[in-house]
Chain A
């Protein structure tokens, strides 16, 4: 785009970009150009629905988004650390590989879909089909921590990673509403704070008690979550957690006749 420089205001290693009315493709081109330099922090102002922010930047850079980023925020993302001062839409962290997304608000459907690495922290609620087919390999373990609650199909076909739902905005006695949690799950772990009935779980998951090691892992996850949003980690950890694990590495091993 011709007048890209008009949008950019640079001071030191921080760049401020005014995204008012900028087409997503142009905005991402600007981001690519900016990131090819030595910038460390990007302040994106007046973001309104622009898609794919954080995609194809390929390095660690801090991006602060003010407004509402569009779908597929951080899709295939490989390094940037994004903070959203507002809500995220659908597909946040789609097939993300490395980096971090912190959302000070809600996120939509399919958050963290097929995530392979990095961390996502959502302060409030998420939509449907969140964390489907998250994966892990050796030390590459994606984190997805949700402060509020989630809708149906949470962690379906999960193949790895750590998924935490804290239920912080549930009222006294209110339980999570999601059904079909972890259908087809065959690796990874989910920790749910608050009550989940057996009928809400997919056939391939089992609920088990937390062990010492789980407490340690949860301590790390919740500690980091709390530090982003100014919560008291100890208070959150004092709640009752359920650990959901796959019943088999091969849930459909007996499905076929060879």
Chain B
């Protein structure tokens, strides 16, 4: 094979005064960067394979390691940047579609950072969440257009559809077993149970050992229909039809055969080692009417006991599509934005297709209100939620709850090195390799996730209290609590937010 012309992206620096040749780095690296040279009795590195995941740095007992960007300079060129040049080299050498992991890393505007929250001063007092109750509980699902009460018995005459209570308005995004390990699925499931929220199976089915977490599970039904059967649907709290994903709107998914281990094969119910291919569309859904048919097939299959969510990627016509989805009978619309992450996606699609979630969320909420059908479905916002302030801003823009994926994985070790698609994750997260999988201890990882949600809840309560609001419900869709900074009139108009100072 020809030597690649790609320069190393990172340089591994090993301090010889500190290194004790213990080879922890050799064992910890999933990318075979570090190796022991027995002839010279020394540990060396193959820099070109390093993805800067920092596993070796974190585990080096003598702090002998650090990773630096390769300082190799190209002649300055704003148009032909190193990444662009290196992508072309890679494609010239392989002839393949550029594949990557995680979410869009490009410099599109992050509207959360152009939105600021209000706080009470003098005229209406702020609330101290340490001494007063603050309500974060959220119910997801359809509300009736009106309710009728039987005045003699005092009971409701209107029959209500099932709702899902969340103690914190943050759920874990759909990540399939296969893309991530069983240990990570278990960690998410256990954390969801402890924190009173839901985790989402993604499209790879639910391992039998996790059926016990059913009340805190959203099961996904995607175009590949992997692991979908009546027991899987019955065990869940909520069902989600996956139409699209923010990281790769409009295309399906290919779980490479290497990641289809014996247990993954069993859960997805496909032969071991075959590619798990999810077609781009559901071949039984070519229209809103067809979507409605699947929504009601799932409701029939579970005897109308569970809400059905439909997840789409945020694209140009999201508002009109969301309206169709709600009219088709969905109880929840989940919208996944431009910065939503993935275990594997073509880089060009991840980085160029879709629209920022803030704009999609605002326009969907606005459209459903204008059409008088906002009560018929909850809105879940996904794709690039980084902290509790993003959550609060999303809720003020109209979301009922949010999904977090990347943030949850960071909580259990992810360093966002964007190599999920290789299946070699040194942190044991996006891999099904038995040696690496053991690195996630569900006891510890679940606790870290619960800690994250606890911390965010406390912060959300502080922000709510500051605004003089004691229930999340009062903030939902209340855009007067937001102001824009550094935005154009058109951006402000789409976001439905006034300029700061006005």
Give the CA-CA distance A89 to B60 in the complex, in Å.
63
Contact check, A257 vs B254: say whether CB atoms are below 8 A apart: no
Choose the segment among B91-99, B307-315, B356-364, B404-412 that binds chain A (4+ C-beta atoms closer than 8 Å): B91-99
Contact check, B275 vs A114: say whether CB atoms are below 8 A apart: no
B221-244 vs A: 1/0 string, CB under 8 Å?
001111011100100000000000
Chain B residues bordering chain A, tally (CB within 8 A): 44
Contact check, A55 vs B301: say whether CB atoms are below 8 A apart: yes
Contact check, B224 vs A55: say whether CB atoms are below 8 A apart: no
Which residues of chain B (203-223) have a CB below 8 Å from chain A?
223
Measured CB to CB, the closest approach of chain A to B155, in angstroms, equals: 19
> B145 near A: Cβ within 8 Å?
no
Choose the segment among A70-78, A192-200, A218-226 that binds chain B (4+ C-beta atoms closer than 8 Å): A70-78
Q: Which residue of A lies closest to B224 (CB)?
A: A133
Known pairs A113-B283, A257-B98, A258-B422; A160 contacts B271 (CB<8 A): yes
Known pairs A52-B297, A56-B230, A75-B300; A255 contacts B254 (CB<8 A): yes
> A43 near B: Cβ within 8 Å?
no
Choose the segment among A91-99, A165-173, A205-213, A228-236 that binds chain B (4+ C-beta atoms closer than 8 Å): A91-99
Contact check, A110 vs B265: say whether CB atoms are below 8 A apart: no
Known pairs A257-B96, A257-B98; A91 contacts B284 (CB<8 A): yes
Q: Which residue of B lies closest to A54 (CB)?
A: B300
Give the CA-CA distance A137 to B283 in the complex, in Å.
22
Report chain B residues within 8 Å CB of A135.
225-226, 269-270
Give the CA-CA distance A75 to B233 in the complex, in Å.
13
Measured CB to CB, the closest approach of chain B to A26, in angstroms, equals: 12
Which residues of chain B (263-296) have a CB below 8 Å from chain A?
265-266, 269-271, 273-277, 279, 283-284, 293, 296
Report chain A residues within 8 Å CB of B346.
256
Known pairs A91-B284, A137-B270; A256 contacts B302 (CB<8 A): no
Give the CA-CA distance A258 to B279 in the complex, in Å.
21
Choose the segment among A7-15, A143-151, A244-252 that binds chain B (4+ C-beta atoms closer than 8 Å): A244-252
Measured CB to CB, the closest approach of chain B to A248, in angstroms, equals: 9
Give the CA-CA distance A249 to B233 in the complex, in Å.
29
> B303 near A: Cβ within 8 Å?
yes
Chain A residues bordering chain B, tally (CB within 8 A): 47
Task: Indicate which residue in A58, A94, A114, A256 contacts B230 across the interface (CB closer than 8 Å).
Answer: A58
Contact check, B297 vs A72: say whether CB atoms are below 8 A apart: yes
> A83 near B: Cβ within 8 Å?
no
> B256 near A: Cβ within 8 Å?
yes
Contact check, A249 vs B271: say whether CB atoms are below 8 A apart: yes
Contact check, B302 vs A56: say whether CB atoms are below 8 A apart: yes
B66-79 vs A: 1/0 string, CB under 8 Å?
00000000000000
* Residue among A25, A78, A133, A140 with max Cβ neighbours from chain B (10 Å): A133
Known pairs A97-B230, A186-B277, A254-B96; A55 contacts B283 (CB<8 A): no
Contact check, A95 vs B257: say whether CB atoms are below 8 A apart: no
Give the CA-CA distance A71 to B295 in the complex, in Å.
13
Contact check, B233 vs A76: say whether CB atoms are below 8 A apart: yes
> B421 near A: Cβ within 8 Å?
yes
Task: Indicate which residue in B90, B275, B298 contacts A257 across the interface (CB closer than 8 Å).
Answer: B90
Contact check, B228 vs A250: say whether CB atoms are below 8 A apart: no
Contact check, A78 vs B266: say whether CB atoms are below 8 A apart: no
Known pairs A95-B225, A249-B275; A78 contacts B284 (CB<8 A): no
Q: Which residue of B lies closest to A97 (CB)?
A: B229
Give the CA-CA distance A233 to B226 in the complex, in Å.
34
> A156 near B: Cβ within 8 Å?
yes
> A101 near B: Cβ within 8 Å?
no
Measured CB to CB, the closest approach of chain B to A69, in angstroms, equals: 13
Contact check, B284 vs A28: say whether CB atoms are below 8 A apart: no
Q: Which residue of A lies closest to B97 (CB)?
A: A256
Give the CA-CA distance A58 to B302 in the complex, in Å.
11
Spell out B's residues near A (CB within 8 Å): 90-91, 93-99, 223-226, 228-230, 233, 254, 256-257, 265-266, 269-271, 273-277, 279, 283-284, 293, 296-298, 300-303, 346, 421-422
Spell out A's residues near B (CB within 8 Å): 25, 28, 32, 51-52, 55-56, 58, 71-72, 75-76, 78, 90-91, 94-95, 97, 110, 113-114, 116, 129, 132-133, 135-137, 140, 153, 156-157, 159-160, 184, 186-187, 249-258
Q: Which 3 A-B pairs have the closest CB atoms?
A: A257-B96, A114-B225, A257-B94
Between A and B, 13 residue pairs with Cβ closer than 8 Å are A28-B300, A52-B301, A55-B301, A75-B301, A76-B233, A97-B229, A110-B284, A133-B223, A159-B276, A184-B277, A252-B254, A253-B256, A256-B346
